[in-house]
Amino acid sequence: MKKPIIALIVLVLAAAGSIGAFLAVKNKNDKENQQKKEALAANVLFSFDSDSPTKLTFSKDGETYVCENKDGIWTLSTGEFPVDQTYCQLICTYTSNLEAVENYGEITDEKLAMYGLDSPDTVEITEPKGTHVIHIGDQSPTRNYYYVTVEGRNDVYAVEAMQGSVLKLDKLLIKNKELLPYTLYDLKEVTTYKDGKVLCDLTYDEESQTWSLPKEYDQLDLDQTQVTAEFNNIVRLEAEDMMDEKLDDLSKYGFDKPYGEAVVKGIDGTERKLLISVDETEPTYCYVLVDGEQVEKYYTQDMHFTQLLPYDYISQDYIAAQSYNVSSFKLKYNNIDISAELDLDNSKCTVNGKEVDLNTNENYVAFDNFFNSMSIFKFKGTDVNAKPELKDAEFTAEFTLKEGGTRKMELVKGEDTYYYVFRDGKYTGAYIEESMLTGRNSLSEFFIKFRKLAGIE
């Protein structure tokens, strides 16, 4: 029995020794962890609610900008320029839990001079519990850090370069970088120019909540969705970079020979003038001169709206009539001269006195293609300055509508392969290509197919 007892005693003693060793190691680790915690705590420069600041003050060498937060909106105390809301919020977020990555020990005059902290940038963050002040010096030789000091602390620290860089005083960072000071619902008028002449002018009517072109385009349907999509994009644009302020020499950025111009007006009576030039060395980008002063950099594609014509905003496929709403029609073009009565409810139509059965899929498709080819006008452009006379029309289609009334479409030959489009005796301001009438997938081709299947002479 002794051997088991002795073995048990040995195990107990061994366990006790292990516990003792464990406690000794644990005590050592606890001390090290505590030291680490204290070191980490010492490197926490600020700790506050990022939504609580009410004032941000940026200063260096006598230049000072004070941004104040009222009801969630940041404004410059002097009102000199609008403030970048995102930038101010980022400053609050960055500094609210700002931690140093290095501690260089106690502040001395030698260190202040060595680290560029003898003439620092200063940021003051004011919140209900007090004001936090940080001084920012030079960037480290490795460009990984910025050297800083904090009021109330006796040491010199280093913070990560990204955080330090946004704390350096830069008026262009503080300024609002949005292209326009409007939302989509604040726009009243957008006018673009080319070579000093109006390229396109769109005006918003608050009562009808619709956009419109000048009255000479009244015969054309404006695509409201297209207008909204285009303007919804431009009100969201922000500069990729901020360049010169208060530009004196237009030729420096090519504004003496602009790529585009625009004047955007708000419903509040204000306006913003934009002058655009393409960066010749890097055409992906362009420069925008805002209100004759601030030069900003954008993607050239984002300024494409300054090149758009009224044609780009209209409904380019004009539907004169739809077969299910038509009781009869007449068509004259080239060697086509027909009159037709429609009874689509019973899948029938009568063409020049001959009844045609549309009950078969082949016949119906042939008729539908033919009807659409003479009733859908694919506009290729607009020319409201043209003064075509309605005579010797080469194409005439007249539709009798079930709801009452008629719709008459006529085409008059214009220059080259263009035909001016008339509706009910009035010039629409638009033209179509000859390809609508002849060639593949044209009126002529679809009529030949329909005539053959219908057995029409």
- Quickly state the pLDDT bin for 164 (edges 50, 70, 90): confident
**Mean pLDDT (whole number) for 404-410:** 97
Res 155 pLDDT > 80? yes
Measured distance CA(200)–CA(217) in Å, rounded? 11
Res 31 pLDDT > 70? no
Res 24 pLDDT > 70? no
Res 27 pLDDT > 70? no
Res 25 pLDDT > 80? no
**Mean pLDDT (whole number) for 77-106:** 94
Res 176 pLDDT > 70? yes
Among 115-124, 233-242, 342-351, 447-456, the range scoring the smallest mean pLDDT is 447-456
pLDDT, averaged across the chain: 90
Res 455 pLDDT > 90? no
Res 158 pLDDT > 50? yes
pLDDT given for residue 23 in this prediction? 46
pLDDT given for residue 172 in this prediction? 85
What's the pLDDT tens digit per position in 373-388?
Answer: 999 999 999 999 999 9
What's the pLDDT tens digit per position in 261-319?
Answer: 999 999 999 999 999 999 888 999 999 999 999 999 999 999 999 999 999 999 999 99
Measured distance CA(37)–CA(327) in Å, rounded? 88
Share of the chain above pLDDT 70, in %: 91
Res 350 pLDDT > 50? yes
Q: What is the pTM of this model?
A: 0.76
**Mean pLDDT (whole number) for 16-31:** 48
pLDDT given for residue 162 in this prediction? 87
pLDDT given for residue 18 in this prediction? 47
The torsion region of residue 317 among left (phi > 0), alpha (psi -120 to 50) and beta comes to beta
Measured distance CA(450)–CA(442) in Å, rounded? 12
Res 12 pLDDT > 70? no
- Quickly state the pLDDT bin for 33 (edges 50, 70, 90): very low
Give the chain's end-to-end CA distance (angstroms, integer): 125
pLDDT given for residue 417 in this prediction? 95
pLDDT given for residue 41 in this prediction? 63
Res 14 pLDDT > 80? no
Strand partners, 265: 189, 271
pLDDT given for residue 17 in this prediction? 53
- Quickly state the pLDDT bin for 368 (edges 50, 70, 90): very high
Res 225 pLDDT > 80? yes
Res 446 pLDDT > 80? yes
What radius of gyration do the chain's Cα atoms show?
38
Res 257 pLDDT > 70? yes
Res 46 pLDDT > 90? yes
- Quickly state the pLDDT bin for 115 (edges 50, 70, 90): very high
